Amino acid sequence: MRFASLGSGSAGNALVVEVNQTRLMLDCGFSIKETLARLARLSLQPDDLAGIVITHEHDDHAGGAFKFAAKYKIPVWLTYGTLKMSSRYIPIQHDLQLNVVDSHSEFSVGDIHVQPYPVPHDAREPMQCVFSDGNHKLGVLTDVGRTTPHIVERLSGCRALVLECNHDASMLQTGPYSWALKKRVGGDLGHLENLDSANLLSKLDNSQLQHILAAHLSAKNNTPALARSSLANVLGCEDDWVGIADQLQGFDWREITSS
């Protein structure tokens, strides 16, 4: 089982998970041209994808998903609320295979098991996901304003985590955003701050953790060094053991092993 990011941040998000010959893309907030270029960096092309899972309807996660899926005939999985709020993205004439899922119910695509879970965010019916090959778990959490006991339960025991570290609280408060946007980003339906992400991490069973990547960093209200330091302090590891999912490059393939 391995995974890689095409890019992570407010300008676009996409993550690829691979188990054997099954590959799923989580979100697609890039244009078709940009998605193709970013997939090529991972030695992938559209035919390699068994499906796209969409977490919620915001542009940076769903903006390119439906056109890409329609062009290359890739099935899509999403909640009913996300589907209802995504009509502006869906081509008028299409033969998309749209699979509506419950955010509490597991489903499988080929060799990949997907466990969605609901999260507090300012979208209609947002979810995040834990991916598994039956033995190993990859937990993904971005676009969440606060943590919940259910999130802690879902992310405990993962061998890999992609965890939102969107902003530093002081940088957000003194930064260039409008007061309304600061309230949204820092609110209970916004995005996780570094120390909140660290607090969540401290509550998890990390005994099997092999990889952790800080994701969805704000370009104006955070730095990779601050995000790394916050998570490393919890894990008791060197800062550079914590990876960064950045906007331009994402991150290259990471493999989850049994050892």
Give per-residue pLDDT as tens, 31-46.
Answer: 999 999 999 999 999 9
DSSP-assigned states of every residue in 211-259 = EEEEES--TTT--HHHHHHHHHHHHTS-GGGSEE-BTTTBEEEEE----
Indicate the residue type of 236.
Answer: G
What are the φ/ψ torsions at residue 10 (nearest 5 degrees)?
-70, -10
Question: Mean pLDDT throughout 230-258?
Answer: 97
Q: Is the pLDDT of residue 10 over 80?
A: yes
* Domains located in the chain, CATH noted: 2-251 (3.60.15.10)
What is the model's pLDDT at position 94? 86
pLDDT number for residue 205:
98
Q: Give pLDDT, residue 152.
A: 98
User: Per residue in 76-131, pLDDT tens?
Assistant: 999 999 999 999 999 888 899 999 999 999 999 999 999 999 999 999 999 999 99
| Mean pLDDT estimate for the chain | 97
Average pLDDT value for residue range 156-180: 98
User: Which two structure tokens, joined as six digits, stand for 191?
Assistant: 């995005």
CB 15, CB 27: distance < 8 Å: yes
User: According to the model, what pLDDT value does residue 191 have?
Assistant: 98
- Percentage of the chain beyond pLDDT 70 is 100
Q: Percentage of residues in the chain with pLDDT exceeding 90?
A: 97
